[in-house]
Amino acid sequence: MSFHDSDPDLDSSGRELVLALGYIDTLHEIFPKMDLLNSNHGSMAYRKAKHHGVPRHLLKSYNDALGVPEQDWKWHDQIVVRLPNGHDVLIGHFFGSDVLKASIAMGMSLIQGHAHSSFELRYWQSMSGLHFAITSGCLIDDKSLAYAYNKMQIKRPIMGATFIENSQPYLIPMLVDQDNRWIGTK
Ligand SMILES: [Fe+2]
């Protein structure tokens, strides 16, 4: 459903959805309650509908389409999380290519994704305290045909996740084997 050209050797979006539904059940068991961010990826169905003049009201919610109870997974444009130390963090899909600059401009800690080939944690200090600006890693399989549109770019996707424990942020790269499969370490 991407606005990029799709490789004709890929499964259709309908086939992908059928394949994904089985895994969504497993994901729901692992994360029965989850807050998710809307993005230029996850909101593709609604972007396509808007592009073709279909009102949002006529479309199913994602939870409905995925078979997840409406109250279990909550979708947001942005989320503000208050950490145990009283520090607020704004989390969104993308605030800009320079996340440190965006964080300083907004006067608060930020976490974003979207960039694919950036994975960074920067700190800055203001009179009100220490703040962080994070561009988190992604989970893109660089060898997938679905990502073939990027194959001529020098920068490759960096797989990893951001983890916060007791108000302390950590970046955790996803270590993989020769076949690009996770080797199961943190
Ligand atoms: Fe994105």
Sorted by where each begins, the domain ranges of the chain are 7-76, 77-186
- Whole-model pTM: value is 0.87
What is the rounded distance in angstroms from the CA atom of residue 1 to the CA atom of residue 41? 9
Per-residue model confidence (pLDDT) at position 45:
84
How many whole angstroms from 39 Cα to the centroid of ligand 1?
Answer: 6
pLDDT tens sequence across 17-60: 899 998 999 999 999 999 999 988 777 888 889 999 999 899 99
Q: Which pair of structure tokens corresponds to residue 136?
A: 């988190």
Which of 16-20, 97-101, 122-126 is predicted with the least confidence, judged by mean pLDDT?
16-20
How many whole angstroms from 41 Cα to the centroid of ligand 1?
Answer: 6
What is the rounded distance in angstroms from the CA atom of residue 12 to the CA atom of residue 9? 9
Cβ partners under 8 Å of residue 64, min gap 6? 70
How many whole angstroms from 96 Cα to the centroid of ligand 1?
Answer: 11
